Amino acid sequence: MSNAILIEQASIVEKPEKKAPLGPLFWICVGWIALNFLGAIFANVLPLQNPLYQDYASINAGPSLHHLFGTDDIGRDIFARIVFGSRVSIAVGFGAMVIGFGIGTPLGMLAAYRRGRFDTFMTAFMYILLAFPAIIATIAVLSFWTPRSLLKIIIVIGLASVPLVYRVIRTAALAVSTKDYIIAAKVQGATDRRILLKELLPNIAPIGVSFLLIGVATVIALEGTLAFLGLSVSPPTPSWGNMINESRTVLQDNPWLAIFPSLALCLFLLSLNFIGDRLRNHFDVTEVKL
Amino acid sequence: MSDLSHELLVVEDLSTTFNTMGGPLPAVANVSFTLARNETIGIVGESGSGKTVLSRTIMGLQPRTNVSVTGSVLLNGNQMVGASESFKRGLWGTEVAMVFQDPMTSLNPVMRVGKQIDESLRVRLGMSKQDAKARAIELLELVGIPSPAHRYMAYPGQLSGGMRQRVVIAIALAGSPKLLMADEPTTGLDVTIQAQILNLLDELKDRLKMSVVLVTHDLGVVATRTSRIAVMYAGRIVETGSTRDVFTNHRMPYTRALLDSSPKVANASHTRLVTIPGRPPNLLQLSAGCSFAPRCSFATDKCHQERPELQAADEPGHAFACWNPLPTQTEPAPHER
């Protein structure tokens, strides 16, 4: 082997750090989410019609200047109900996911990193929970845990999502924890806590965030299902989910009642996902952009 | 701290056996060797010969379950076999460090390379933020990275393979280890970069007074950079000795076959590479005899039935495990080919 020739400088490749641009659509989405949040927070002080007021003079009316999105089958203003409904939907969507991820992420990471008996038992336990239909468990718990409140709904849905989060996080962490850089950190004398927080967590974060956003969407829809069964917030209080459910009976007479809350839900989730995607690209340091 | 006269690393009768579904799998069997301070030993063998398992066992990096390790690994007087995780953690980084095979996977892709170096400086050596940064930049310079202060801020994805391997070496050197385990440190790199990295390791060894265990399948890599070589086959050391003896006066047919199968510059172009017929044995179904016997052209009945132990050759420190050794250069052939 000849090693006389050393091209010391040849191996240096300058790859500048360039971040992917966020683009105007990103800011439109951020604006939309912000608008939704502001609407939810300030619904009381905004110049909206009473979401509970039943105007029997205009039942199942289409969009007009007086009722921007029209009225439902008992004459309530759909626009006002959507703005007020965002409170329940956003609270349930994010609240339940905070609980689900708050419990599922540490357990999943620990199981994947430590393996052994803890992993075996934890995974078996979570899969047993997964095998049991979450919707039935949620219905059962909510039927008996009275009086019902938004907080209880958030807690129950959050706990029901733990096995799903656990499974996704554990799988992602399993793939990362066998990588050489984890072993490298270990043989540098790094503590387990440090490895979990500084090496493992940042590397599974993109997968976690993607799943979080899907989770928010699923949970908002799940709240609608519960509302349909009368197990969510009590009837006159609007939420996107229960508005969509209520609309099913009058779909032929008044499609607006289904379209507007669905549109609100759809745009909200679309914006969230788009923001998540752009942020991931923007902060991605693993792929070099030339 | 410890007496400088004794050997830095003493491996004695080390065996690592994995308990698999198919039965016990002896990945490393009865391996013994010693390594003096500021010495480099080369561990050579083909894929699956147990080199990597051996180096990880010496580090004390085994899976938590389904593996049994027997024998002894004394690292600067510390017993690594059966040691607790926290005891080993106290030695990792400062007594022994490791350079990994593939620089593409051995750096955390989402952490700046500088941070990856000063992590261990701050955690293990308790340096302040500023001191650690200064030291990390010094280390980057030491491993030959140009404009180190600038590179400190780079992410691994912004560096080429050769640069990354230099960073990996810098990380390993951060704790000033006495022993550096280099497990195929150049496999993932271009040939031109390979030589750079190996020369760098060699130079650093002398400058920092380290000992190095260089694990490789490439005899060319160990030829000029090690003082001694251990040839592994099917989890056992089949020949060991000074680099010179192993290259010029090898007795074990496997060593010969390995040497014959490396390409030579002196060969005419388009010379076909000599290969070793057959495949390495299935470690779950080892015969009672020599593991190399089925592929060996000198094998006799005895080879298939009885395992040869390492026996001393004429030169000091040279030993081989073979019933029908190749002739030494002075001695006439004991068998006809």
Q: What is the pLDDT of residues B5-62, one digit of tens each?
A: 568 999 999 999 998 888 888 899 999 999 998 899 999 988 888 888 999 899 888 7
% residues pLDDT > 90 (chain B): 17
Q: Which residues of A touch B (CB under 8 A)?
A: 1-3, 5-13, 15-17, 115-116, 179-181, 183-191, 194, 198-199, 202-203, 285-288
Report pLDDT for A290: 43
**What is the enclosing helix (H) or strand (E) of A176?**
helix A150-177
Gap between the Cα atoms of A225 and B251, Å rounded: 78
- Name the residue among B106, B160, B163 with its Cβ closest to that of A181: B106
ipTM of the prediction greater than 0.90, yes or no: no
Calculate how close chain B gets to A273, using CA atoms only, in Å: 22
pLDDT for residue A170 is more than 90: yes
pLDDT for residue A116 is more than 70: yes
Evaluated on CA atoms B80, B86, B91, B97, the torsion sign reads: positive
Contacts of A147 (CB under 8 A, 6+ apart): none
Closest CA to B261 of B273, B272, B250: B273
Residue found under tokens 């990945």:
B27
Report pLDDT for A18: 63
CATH architecture of A39-283: Orthogonal Bundle (1.10)
Q: Residues, chain A, total?
A: 290
Gap between the Cα atoms of B247 and B244, Å rounded: 5
Q: Burial-class residue A225 by CB neighbours within 10 Å (0-12, 13-18, 19+).
A: middle
B63 within 8 A of B250, measured Cβ to Cβ: no
Give A20's contacts in chain B (Cβ within 8 Å).
none
Is the Cβ pair A190, B123 closer than 8 Å? yes
Is the Cβ pair A187, B97 closer than 8 Å? yes
Gap between the Cα atoms of B12 and A87, Å rounded: 69
Give the residue from chain A lying closest to B115, CA to CA.
A198
For helices A201-228 and A134-144, the axis angle rounded to 10 degrees is 60
Q: Write out pLDDT tens, residues B307-329.
A: 888 888 888 889 999 888 888 76
Contacts of B219 (CB under 8 A, 6+ apart): B44, B247, B258, B259, B262
Q: Where are the domains of chain A?
A: 39-283
Q: Which site among A15, A119, A174, A181 would you substitute to test the B interface, given the most B Cβ atoms closer than 10 Å to its Cβ?
A: A181
Calculate how close chain B gets to A144, using CA atoms only, in Å: 44
Give the residue from chain B lying closest to A4, CA to CA.
B195
Report pLDDT for B330: 55
Report pLDDT for B329: 64
Give the residue from chain B lying closest to A10, CA to CA.
B193
DSSP SS3 for B216: strand
- Name the residue among A6, A181, A288 with its Cβ closest to that of B107: A181
Q: Write out pLDDT tens, residues B93-140.
A: 888 999 888 888 888 888 889 888 888 788 778 888 888 999 999 899
- Name the residue among B158, B163, B224 with its Cβ closest to that of A288: B158
Gap between the Cα atoms of B169 and B164, Å rounded: 9
Is the Cβ pair B120, A188 closer than 8 Å? yes
B8 within 8 A of B178, measured Cβ to Cβ: yes
What is B9-110+176-265+272-320's CATH topology?
Answer: Rossmann fold (3.40.50)
Q: Name residue B334's amino acid.
A: P
Per-residue b/e over A240-272, b at no fewer than 16 CB within 10 Å? bbbbbbbbeebeeebebbbbbbeebbeebbebb
Gap between the Cα atoms of B321 and B292, Å rounded: 10
Q: Where are the domains of chain B?
A: 9-110+176-265+272-320
Q: Write out pLDDT tens, residues A224-273.
A: 778 777 777 777 788 888 888 888 888 888 888 888 888 888 898 888 88
Give A10's contacts in chain B (Cβ within 8 Å).
192
> Where in chain B does DSSP place strands (E)?
9-20, 23-35, 40-44, 67-75, 78-79, 96-99, 179-183, 211-216, 228-233, 236-242, 311-312, 319-320
Closest CA to B116 of B133, B99, B138, B91: B133
- Name the residue among B144, B161, B172 with its Cβ closest to that of A8: B144
Report pLDDT for A3: 42
Is the Cβ pair B192, A203 closer than 8 Å? no
Is the Cβ pair B100, A199 closer than 8 Å? no
A256 within 8 A of A62, measured Cβ to Cβ: yes
Contacts of B81 (CB under 8 A, 6+ apart): B14, B57, B60, B69, B70, B71, B72, B73
Give B94's contacts in chain A (Cβ within 8 Å).
189
Instruction: Tell me the two tokens of residue A107.
Output: 């357990």
Give B162's contacts in chain A (Cβ within 8 Å).
11
Q: Name residue B317's amino acid.
A: G
- Name the residue among B93, B111, B158 with its Cβ closest to that of A187: B93
Is the Cβ pair A286, B123 closer than 8 Å? no
Gap between the Cα atoms of A72 and A63, Å rounded: 11
- Name the residue among A1, A190, A285 with its Cβ closest to that of B220: A1
Calculate how close chain B gets to A205, using CA atoms only, in Å: 10
Instruction: Tell me the two tokens of residue B111.
Output: 């952490």
Give B141's contacts in chain A (Cβ within 8 Å).
none
Closest CA to B76 of B216, B193, B189, B177: B177
Gap between the Cα atoms of B154 and B39, Å rounded: 34
**Cis omega before residue A147 (within 30°)?**
yes
Q: Burial-class residue B231 by CB neighbours within 10 Å (0-12, 13-18, 19+).
A: buried
**What is the enclosing helix (H) or strand (E) of B135?**
helix B129-142
Calculate how close chain A gets to B304, using CA atoms only, in Å: 36
DSSP codes joined into one string, B14-49: EEEEEEETTEEEEEEEEEEEEE-TT-EEEEE--TTS
Calculate how close chain B gets to A191, using CA atoms only, in Å: 8
Q: How far is CA B282 from the centre of its chain?
A: 22
Calculate how close chain A gets to B9, using CA atoms only, in Å: 17
HSE value, Cβ hemisphere, 13 Å, CA-based, for A97: 20
Gap between the Cα atoms of B125 and B118, Å rounded: 10
Q: Write out pLDDT tens, residues A129-151.
A: 888 888 888 888 888 887 888 88
The CA–CA distances, whole Å, from B254 to B232, B264, B275, B317 equal 9, 18, 11, 19
What's the average model confidence in pLDDT over B242-269? Answer: 85
**Phi, psi dihedrals of residue B13, rounded to the nearest 5°:** 50, 45
pLDDT for residue A78 is more than 90: no
Q: Which site among B44, B84, B108, B267 would you substitute to test the A interface, given the most A Cβ atoms closer than 10 Å to its Cβ?
A: B108
Calculate how close chain B gets to A239, using CA atoms only, in Å: 40
- Which band of pLDDT confidence, cut at 50, 70 and 90, is reported for residue A102? very high
Q: What is the dihedral of CA A56, A60, A64, A65, to 10 degrees?
A: 30
Calculate how close chain A gets to B289, using CA atoms only, in Å: 35
**Phi, psi dihedrals of residue A164, rounded to the nearest 5°:** -65, -45
